[in-house]
Amino acid sequence: MDTVRLKINGIDVEAPKNATILEAAQSVGIRIPTLCYLKDINAIGACRMCLVEVKGARAFAAACVYPVAEGMEVFTNTPKVIAARKGTLELILSNHRMDCLSCVRSLDCELQALANEYKVDQYRFATDEKLLPDIEASAPHLVRDNSKCILCRRCTAVCSKNQHAAVIGCNDRGYKTHVASAFDMPLNDTSCVYCGQCIAVCPVGALTERDDTDKVWDAINDPDKHVVVAPAPSVRAQLGECFGMPIGTNVEGKMITALRRLGFDKVFDVDTAADITIMEEGTELLNRLKEGGKLPLITSCSSGWIKFCEHYYPDLIGNLSSCKSPQQMFGALVKTYYAEKAGLDPKDIFVVSIMPCTAKKFEVARDHMDAAGVPDVDVSLTTRELAQMIRRAGIEFKELPDEECDPIFGVASGAGHIFGATGGVMEAALRTVAEIVTGKPLEKLEFHEVRGVEAVKEAEYDLAGTKVRVAVTSGLENATKLLDKIRSGEADYHFVEVMACPGGCVNGGGQPHQPGQVRNFVDLRAERAKALYSEDEAMTLRKSHENPVVKEIYDTYLGEPGSEKAHHILHTKYVARGLYGKV
């Protein structure tokens, strides 16, 4: 690798020839502040917070886009640089509604942190015009308040470059510039897939998920409601970040204890339903392979991906697995199997899911998600919303003891746990399908070919003479490239896993916020996924079809996987949607 030598604040630095000043500084422990920059997504030098002095240059340089050069001398903290950054912050604040005391991002806001660090005068450039909320809340998952937007363009970049949808952009010019959909149409009238990646990267409180916590508090305090809660696989590996714990810390035991102390009647685990998803989806794959059904079979666990397919690839709807997602399977079984077992009326059960995903807020209201005649799931909360409830209840999360889930839906296999990482659904399915086809236990349960954060992972497996070709992708821009090859016939697979969010659910739109300084230099996807794979490796129960709870549910209630009763409760339908307009 070609390198260059330079000095940063008098420190000798050797950096790759194609590196930026920002990257070179980070390599020797020098932090340069940023607001708009996101590695590989948004390198536009727009916010001007990363300005530095370069010896011999006529003007400041934006470190996020300025390349290093042999013999260069850089200064990141001179009085001129500090004054320039402070002035930039004061100008941003002049057009930023500051309700910091009640803002959902208070103490978790990148702008607030920098303003405090640089001791800015928030009123220096203030006008007499009082900023009022500028709310757009048409979508079921998101609230946008442009009075807090700083025009960093992170949201528009991630929507376009990572997620392909590009349903938001900058409208108007100059002082009137604002982020919105084309022609300022309501977001709900666009082909937004509700993935929430824009929320995840927003450095301030301009984009937030729709807060459904009050609905849950009301249900908990309603004596006539039996309130059940269950977290998704990846939540246990990310919730700790909301309380200052290291990235990738598995807090499953503390999370369960916290949920009980919040007042939920039963604390279950969506991972049990993930195991059931494998039984249904695996059976569906085997049936299509044997009976000549439409291939490739494409997974249906990611609700953002499903909506994307309905909008952009309606011709591939027939390839989608008809299985509900684990969230919806869980809710459906709670209001049928569990209701019957516990002697409860499904109408009196209130099901809450804790998800890494904002698209799940849309999924709960989809058609065909009412196996018991009432919604399978009543409310879906994000990981961040759960953290908010824990704080509001005065629970000291780090000090909690570890507890276990309640019986019935409290047992899950390692295969169910890895659903949260890209490739996890595929690997879980392969463990079960391989043993069913070959009729003998696998010698090795790890399918490393489908693990990792690469754009597309491909593999071929020989299952008792049957060649099964698989592919895994995450992030909808990557999915588009793979699906175009499938559509054209260039690529030929039997089974394909698609996750809407890059890296899978561990990087979902509802996961804890991490500032750009972390996102740019730490692979959140890989670090968070490690916790799930570690949990799987430590378990003795690692195959969905060996889960005793799953066996009991089929033996005593559903019958065989893929049975008529299983189809009624656990499967769903999809609809082709236009690029604009509601469907």
Q: Convert the pLDDT of each residue in 457-500 to its tens digit.
A: 999 999 888 899 999 999 999 999 999 999 999 999 999 999 99
- Residue type for 511, please? Q
Task: Give the pLDDT of residue 582.
Answer: 52
Over range 512-532, report the average pLDDT.
95
Does residue 84 carry a pLDDT above 60?
A: yes
Residues in CB range of 364: below 8 A, 6 or more apart: 327, 328, 331, 353, 375, 376, 377, 378, 379, 380
Note the CATH number of domain 93-209: 3.30.70.20
Integer Cα distance of 182 and 138 in angstroms: 14
Query: What is the distance between the alpha carbons of residues 129 and 171, in angstroms, rounded to a whole number?
Result: 21
Judged against a pLDDT cut of 80, whether residue 583 lies above it is answered with no
Residue 176 has pLDDT above 70, yes or no: yes
214-570: which CATH number, 3.40.50.1780, 3.40.50.300, 3.20.20.140, 3.90.245.10?
3.40.50.1780
pLDDT at 220 over 80: yes
Instruction: Please give the pLDDT value at position 197.
Output: 98
C-beta atoms surrounding 339 within 10 Å? 18
pLDDT of 279 above 80: yes
Q: Which of 424, 432, 400, 445 is nearest to 546 (CA)?
A: 432
The reported pLDDT for the residue numbered 156 is 98
Percent share of the chain, pLDDT over 90:
93
Q: Are 273 and 330 in contact (CB under 8 A)?
A: yes
**What is the model's pLDDT at position 121?**
81
- pLDDT given for residue 178 in this prediction: 96
Whether pLDDT at 82 is above 60: yes
Average pLDDT score over residue span 417-423? 96
- Residue spans of the domains in the chain: they are 3-77, 93-209, 214-570
Once rounded to an integer, what is the mean pLDDT over residues 526-545? 95
DSSP secondary structure letters along 233-268: TTHHHHGGGGGTPPTT---HHHHHHHHHHHT-SEE-
Average pLDDT over residues 543-565: 96
- pLDDT, tens digit, for every residue of 424-445? 999 999 999 999 999 999 999 9
Amino acid at 264: F
* Mean pLDDT on 542-554: 96
Q: What is the CATH number of domain 3-77?
A: 3.10.20.740
Alpha-carbon distance of 580 to 526, in angstroms, equals 35
CB distance 475 to 501 below 8 Å: yes
**pLDDT tens column, 341-398:** 999 999 999 999 999 999 999 999 999 999 999 999 999 999 999 999 999 999 999 9
How much is the mean pLDDT over the chain?
A: 95
pLDDT of residue 128 exceeding 90, the answer is no
Closest by Cα among 198, 209, 196, 207 to 42: 198
pLDDT, one tens digit per residue, over 299-355 is 999 999 999 999 999 999 999 999 999 999 999 999 999 999 999 999 999 999 999
